[in-house]
Amino acid sequence: MISIKNLSKIYNTNGKDVVALKDINLTINDGEIYGIMGLSGAGKSSLIRCINMLEKPTTGSISINGTEMTKLSPKELREMRKKIGMIFQHFNLLMNSTVYENIAFPLRISKAKDSVIKKRVNELLEVVDLEDKKYAYPSQLSGGQKQRVGIARALANNPHIILSDEATSALDPTTTESILNLLRNINKQYGITIVVITHEMSVIRNLCDRIAVLENGIIIEEGNVIDIFSNP
């Protein structure tokens, strides 16, 4: 469970404060697919980046399965982050590395043995249906295939949570649908909690169980997708 309490994030640039998140309270249950919606500048990225502590909250607490993230040592945080996969709008792949090496990357950072890496990468290639692209480079892949590599890389260390930052925004509707199917299958099969930032209604309707709508750093709406969209 991800439990966010009284979270605020204030950036200070050139002596000027920008309040990105104001007193956010949010609980995301294990195995849930949770959507974070809102216009550009609403605070979505800040929220997701506070969950894995890429940004340090200004005040408040974030606990993941009972572990208070704001109190971890750098070493403990590195261990915790291995269990939080991330996928991105522009995939963030290593362009000079093959599909195999891109997926192996987090395992190499974790200092896994070559034999373990080989077995895990081959499993993951099957999960994302890219066995035939093992030795291709990202420039040789379609957008959907690149995102499948991103998803496989996020899964490499068997995460409990996947954070998705506009993962389908750069994809056409058909490709989006296939990526949403893949994410749904991963959620069902492995019970991984998925938190998605999106501005796309199709993602909310077809993927998320619950959503929060952010506006100017405040949650203005929260609840089950079905309830929110059945309201007149």
CA dist., res. 168 & res. 183, Å (int) = 11
DSSP 171: S
Closer CB to ligand ADP, 42 or 107, in the complex:
42
User: Whole-number minimum distance, CB 230 to ligand ADP, in Å?
Assistant: 26
33-37 and 193-197: which strand pairing?
parallel
Q: Which two tokens stand for residue 64?
A: 């993941």
Number of helices (H) and strands (E) in the chain: give both, helices first. Answer: 8, 10
The count of chain residues that interact with ligand ADP, using the rule CB under 6 A, is 18
Binding to ligand ADP by residue 13, rule CB under 6 A?
yes
Closer CB to ligand ADP, 48 or 107, in the complex:
48
User: Whole-number minimum distance, CB 175 to ligand ADP, in Å?
Assistant: 6
Closer CB to ligand ADP, 49 or 160, in the complex:
49
CA dist., res. 2 & res. 147, Å (int) = 25
CA dist., res. 10 & res. 24, Å (int) = 13
User: Whole-number minimum distance, CB 42 to ligand ADP, in Å?
Assistant: 4
Taking residues 31 to 70 in sequence order and writing x for each that binds ligand ADP by CB under 6 A, - otherwise, the string is: -------x-xxxxxxx------------------------
- Stretch touching ligand ADP by CB under 6 A, among 10-18, 154-162, 179-187, 220-228: 10-18
- 199 exposure class (CB count in 10 Å sphere: 0-12, 13-18, 19+): middle
Binding to ligand ADP by residue 169, rule CB under 6 A?
no
CA dist., res. 217 & res. 220, Å (int) = 9
Closer CB to ligand ADP, 76 or 131, in the complex:
131
* 191: nearest Cα among 9, 31, 14: 31
> Other CB atoms closer than 10 Å to residue 216's CB: what's the count?
14
* 92: nearest Cα among 37, 38, 35, 54: 54
For residues 91-150, which are near ligand ADP according to CB under 6 A? 140-145
Binding to ligand ADP by residue 185, rule CB under 6 A?
no
Closer CB to ligand ADP, 11 or 229, in the complex:
11
- Report the amino acid identity of residue 228: I
Closer CB to ligand ADP, 93 or 107, in the complex:
93
In the complex, which residues of this chain contact ligand ADP (CB under 6 A)? Answer: 11, 13, 18, 20, 38, 40-46, 140-145
